[in-house]
Amino acid sequence: NGAGKSTLLRACQDLVPKTSGEVQIYGKPYKEQRKAVGYVPQRESVDWDFPVSAIDVVAMGTYGKLGWFRRVGKMQRKFSMECLERVGIPHLADRQISQLSGGQQQ
């Protein structure tokens, strides 16, 4: 609706420059709470033909806790599979994201 929600989240992730103001989550500066927040961009800003599996995409949600240049390990993959199980699609873990329906991609 043009209110700026996506822009706000992109600014918090340092994907666009900030011009002014401060973001707080539960009364603390965003930078302190950053690991507790995930950003899933809108459909049109994702390359759905990129050769990556569903579980790889879910595992990307653990990157914030891993730190720079660290690889996803067994613990993160297990957690990612548990996430897929919670939403009822563990059988799609190895499927390429381009092969998923719009609802499954969401």
Label residues 54-91 b or e (16+ Cβ within 10 Å = b).
Answer: bbbbbbeebeeeeeeeeebeeebbeebeebbeeeebee
Quick one: which of 55, 88, 85, 90 has its CA closest to 72? 55
Phi/psi-derived region of residue 96, left when phi > 0, alpha when psi is between -120 and 50, beta in every other case: beta
Q: What is the pLDDT of residues 51-83, one digit of tens each?
A: 899 999 999 888 877 777 788 889 999 999 999
Specify the pLDDT at position 54: 94
Q: Of 70 and 1, which is predicted with more confidence?
A: 70
pTM here is 0.58
Give the C-alpha separation, 4 to 10, whole Å: 10
3-state secondary structure of 96: strand
CB-CB neighbours of 43 under 10 Å: 10
Phi, then psi, of 42 in degrees rounded to 5: -65, 155
Q: What is the pLDDT of residues 38-51, one digit of tens each?
A: 666 666 667 778 88
Structural domain boundaries of the chain?
Answer: 1-39, 43-106
Specify the pLDDT at position 49: 81
- Contact yes or no for 59/80 (Cβ under 8 A): yes
Specify the pLDDT at position 32: 84
